[in-house]
Structure formats: structure tokens, C-alpha cells
Amino acid sequence: MHGDEALWYDPEPDDSRRGQVLRAAAACPVQALRVEGVNVRQAMPATKPMRAGDDSFRRAGRIVIVGASLAGLRAAAKLRQEGFTGSLTLIGDEPYAPYDRPPLSKQVLDGWVPAQRTALPRPGDLDAQWRLGEPATGLDLARKQVRFADDEVGFDRLLIATGVRARPWPDPSEAALDGVFVLSARGDAVGLRRRLAARPRRVLIIGAGFIGSEVASVCRELGLAVTVAERGPAPLAGALGRVVGVIAGDMQRDHGVDLRCGVTVTALEGDTGRRLRRAHLSDGAIVDVEVAIAALGTLRNVEWLQDSGLAAGPWGVACDAGARAVTVDGMVADDVFVAGDVARSPHPLYDFQFLALEHWGNAVAQAEIAAHNMISSQTERWPHLAVPEFWSTQFSTEIKSVGVPTFADEVVIEQGSTADRRFIAVYGRRGRITAAVAFNQAKWLEFYERLIERAAPFPLDFRAVDQPDGREPVPAEIPDQPVLMQEATVVVTGHDPSGRHAQFVDRER
């Protein structure tokens, strides 16, 4: 956010900025992350397994967190806040301390916030062992060991918070062209920022989801020519449906984006120096470009869990509502928990379907649930029942959502005006409200969140402020969700009940 409500990434603002920080905290439309200081005493590692909820485990248990980002850091802080004084280890594949990712496609790209200033608040007294730049390579559930390339570390409880990474351009030789980028990690943002600052003649963005649309917005703010190629009918259609996506598409075109929907990029072409020069589209068009960003979605970081016995695959790591991991056999692993973007858990509001949510707020909430449950007895554990939410800022418009828009068959503009791009769209499925999306109207979303929690009837039957005339639900036109697998990946072995188990089948081996 720019202006007086901007949030600075500065843990120790000077007096001239303190007032602005306080105003930003009060006006910020999203949940702020607060990592409070904790006082812990050093404890010796456990010499034998202990049960969660035991005082002895809180004093001297061993907890390992794989994934040193938002969810991992928040879980670590929550463990200390709830009195865990045992051994705590955080493992991260990147060499950086935990940092915030949403600014990478916004403030970092436009140069407003340096990448190194996106570090998350990190308590100095967390009393943890950090293994940064050391990716985990495997998991031995039977021995309770996380494996590395040349050693391993033991645990009594494990939290998996490895998150996601950007899906690369599918052709490796084209992906290696100078000028082709993805945007997921801090290093990606630094390289792309440097290239945008060099003023390329045209930028191509492949994919008009939230990341692609945010990058397009930044490019236009920088005065750069932008072409967006989207295989779907409209930007954001995969997340919000075609009805709202068309509005987002009009917004992009009004800001000078060369938006091309219903097309794909078939090839990226470089010159003799392996520098990107043009892109070929499925409709036969050729676009001269110097920079291309592949915004094709994400891949969940689960490769290290292959052969671990956990239900981990392209969909993420399955877990129950208490964040406990599920095994290949469909059973719960009491000592392994999952949180953040890599987790896939059932939600009662959505017919107990397993949802994988790549949202900042979900990572914080689920990490705190997981941390609490790791050190609590069975009767004291909490379910993760938060209503999903996300936000995006693009083309001077704040887009925020509560609920799951893709779990809907109809939508209605309940408040405001689509022409002014200040409205609330309410989504419903089979007679009940499932989600609400606001364009520059986030102040009303808490009201709709309560309706979602109560499974209120859809369409709504009461008058609201700024309600348009003749509002009627229309089909939301949510695209079919892609099928991750085309054939079975699990087989059941054995005939005796004591020896009957499930196992993954790797078709690529």
C-alpha cells in the first residue's frame, strides 16, 4: 500500500515514521503477524520418546520444524509461548532467515521495499537451532529421523511446513533463456526487479492468476509495456470464476495491459546469445519481448517425503483438521503435523473436502493450531476451522476474499457497483453462502464471514447498504479443477488384516 496507510518493513522505526506505522496497523486490511518475545530456559534433548501433553515433553521433548518460513516461524514462536522449553530445530532450504513472501510480487518489484527488508520478526530468545540452506532429503518415520545429504536429526514431534515453489516453464532450454523468470522466492524477486529497472521494451506475463496479475500491475506502474497471455476466459477466473474474472480483465485493459485470453504461449525464442526475444502464441501471433514471467501456479515441496509412508503428493501432504499428518494407509500419524501451503486438510464447511490453501492468513492460523496440538493431550487439541481468506492489491484495487469461491455454482453482486469496481460478490452453492469477494470494499467482509460460518441461506433475503437494483444470482462459471493424476498411484497389498497396507506406485520409475 502506498500513502499514509502504507506498512513499513522496519522493526525499529524512527520517531518520524512511528505515527505512520501506527496508522498502518490500524488501517491494514489484513491480519498482522506479531511474534512476541518469549522467555525460555535451555533444556537437554530428550533421550527417549515422550507423549505430547506430558509435562516432561514440554520440558525436554525434541521438536523439529522442516520449513523455515512464515508457518514454521509462527509455529516455533507459538510453541515457546505455550511453555515448550525442550529442543527446537528449524530447517530451511534457503540460506535466508524467514521472510514475508506477499511483498515479492508487489513492493519489492516496484523498488519501494528492498528484498532484504522483508524479513519476518524473529524473537531473539526463541532458543532454537537453525539449519538454513540445508534442505531435508528424506524422512524415516520408524526411526523418527529427518535426513540430510550427509547426516540426520532426530525428533519426538515433527512439523512439515515446506510450502510451495513456482511451477517452472515446461521447456528447460527455453526456461534457461536470459530474460525468463518465475517469482516465488526472494532471489527471484531480486533478479526480476533488476531486469525491470533496466526498462525492457515489453514484458510478457504467462498466466493471469493472482501473481501474474500483480506483476502486470507493477509493470504498468513502472510505465512498461505488458502483454498478458491467459489460457482461461479471463484473469483470476480459476480462483473467482468467469463473472468476476471479466471485471478484473476490464480493469487490466483500462490500465493499458495487452490482455489476451483464451490463448497459450507455445514457444519462447531467443537470439544467438540465448537472450529472450519473442514469444509464439497458440493463435499464431508472435510477440517481441525481452522479459517473460511464467506465472503458471505452484508445486508443493514434497519430493523429500517420497517413500516416507506419508500421504504426500502433488496435492500436498494430507492431514486431519488438527494438523496431524495422514499416512499412505489413511491413518493418522500422531507425532507428525503439517501446516501452511503444503498442507491439505478437510474443512467441515465445505463438505469435508480436503483443501490446500496457499494463503498468508491460513499459514499463520494453521501453524498455531499445529503448534498447540503438538504439545497438548488428545482432549486439549484444537481443530483448524478458520474460514479461508486471501487478499491481493493490483491496479490500485484491493481485492479480498473470505470463504472458498471455487466451491460455488452461483454468484450475485450484493453491494456496490462493478462499473466503479467497488463491490461485493457473494457466492453460493445449493442454497447456502460459501464465499464473498470484495473489490475495494473489504470493510464489509467480516459480516459475510459470519454468514459463511453459519451456513446462511443463499441468495440473501435482506437489504444491505448500497445494494444494486435487480440483483439476481447468475452462474459463477468456475472452471473445472485440473485432475492431478490420470491413473491410480496407490495399491493395496496383503490379504490378512494384520498385513494389509497401502503403498504408492511411482509410475515414472
Answer yes or no: do 292 and 304 share one domain: no
Assess contact for 485 and 470: CB atoms under 8 A: no
What's the pLDDT at 124? 65
CATH of the domain at 410: 3.30.390.30
pLDDT tens digits, one per residue of 32-41 = 444 444 443 3
Answer yes or no: do 247 and 305 share one domain: no
Instruction: For residue 48, give the amino acid letter.
Output: K
What's the pLDDT at 150? 93
Q: Is residue 62 part of a domain?
A: yes
Closest CA to 102 of 17, 214, 197: 214
Q: Is residue 501 part of a domain?
A: no
Answer yes or no: do 194 and 289 share one domain: yes
CA atoms of 494 and 118, how far apart (whole Å): 52
Decide which of 51 and 146 is more confident. 146
pLDDT, average across residues 65-87: 95
H/E run at residue 56:
helix 55-60
Answer yes or no: do 100 and 120 share one domain: yes
Answer yes or no: do 364 and 304 share one domain: yes
Assess contact for 70 and 98: CB atoms under 8 A: yes
CA atoms of 194 and 197, how far apart (whole Å): 5
Answer yes or no: do 291 and 307 share one domain: no
Q: Is residue 385 part of a domain?
A: no
Taking the model in full, what pTM does it have?
0.87
pLDDT tens digits, one per residue of 261-289 = 999 999 999 999 999 999 999 999 999 99
**Is the link from the previous residue into 459 a cis peptide, with omega within 30 of 0?**
yes
CA atoms of 99 and 236, how far apart (whole Å): 26
Q: Grid cell 525442550 — which residue?
A: 86
Instruction: For residue 451, give the amino acid letter.
Output: L
pLDDT, average across residues 295-322: 95
Fill in the DSSP letter of residue 363: H
Alpha-helical (H) ranges within 47-119 are: 55-60, 70-81
Q: Hey, is 372 helix, strand or coil?
A: helix
Q: Is residue 491 part of a domain?
A: no
Q: Is residue 125 part of a domain?
A: yes
Terminal alpha carbon distance of the chain: 48
Q: Is residue 170 part of a domain?
A: no
CA atoms of 213 and 266, how far apart (whole Å): 20
Task: Using the predicted structure, report yes or no on whether residue 486 has a pLDDT greater than 80.
Answer: no
Cell of 172: 528447460
Of 273, 296, 319, the one marking the end of a domain is: 296
Answer yes or no: do 63 and 208 share one domain: no
Instruction: Please name every residue paired with 186 in a beta bridge, in sequence order, or none if there are none.
Output: none
Q: Is residue 244 part of a domain?
A: yes
Q: Residue 505 CA to chain centroid, in angstroms?
A: 28
Answer yes or no: do 284 and 307 share one domain: no
Answer yes or no: do 143 and 198 share one domain: no
Number of domains making up the chain: 4
CATH of the domain at 197: 3.50.50.60
Domain coverage including residue 280 = 175-296
Q: Is residue 389 part of a domain?
A: no
